[in-house]
Amino acid sequence: MRASFEAVGLPRLTVEGGARVALHRNARLGLAGRRALVADVEAGYSCREAARRRGVSPTTACKWWSRWREASLEEHRSLRCLEDRSSRPHRSPRLLPAGEHARICAARRRSGWGPRPAKTAREQTRRYEWPCPGDLLHIDS
């Protein structure tokens, strides 16, 4: 059973402005749980012990602790450092420039080359049934 934040001496935690934080749907800890985990490490517990107390893996505990350690004072106040980060890559090196992409699409439309969806459905398969199972079976005697 988890105690309330006021009971363990921590203020109730919300993001500035009272907005809800979008958490990953599989996240074991919410914003308050992450802050409590960091408070455990600050209180002298090891990352492994704090992780055990909060029900997460040591890797997860060390991730939140290192993000907290590297954050600025402003990020500590707003708890922005304990929010989930996007997994989207910062850059896409293989992405074509917009002009080149448009040129290729125009050339495909002009020439008819390139992938296109099927225009008509395939002919429906003709199926038939025999009145008794094994009617197609032929036995040489």
Which of 3, 91, 9, 78 minimizes the C-alpha distance to 43? 9
Q: Show the tokens assigned to 9.
A: 């001496």
**What pLDDT shows up at residue 119?**
67
**What pLDDT shows up at residue 26?**
75
Give residue 72's identity as a one-letter amino acid code: S
| 133 vs 109, higher pLDDT | 109
Residue 56 per-residue DSSP state: S
Query: Structure pTM?
Result: 0.53
**What pLDDT shows up at residue 45?**
95
Contact (Cβ atoms closer than 8 angstroms) between residue 59 and residue 44: no
pLDDT tens for 42-99 read 999 999 999 999 999 999 999 999 999 999 999 999 988 999 888 888 888 899 999 9
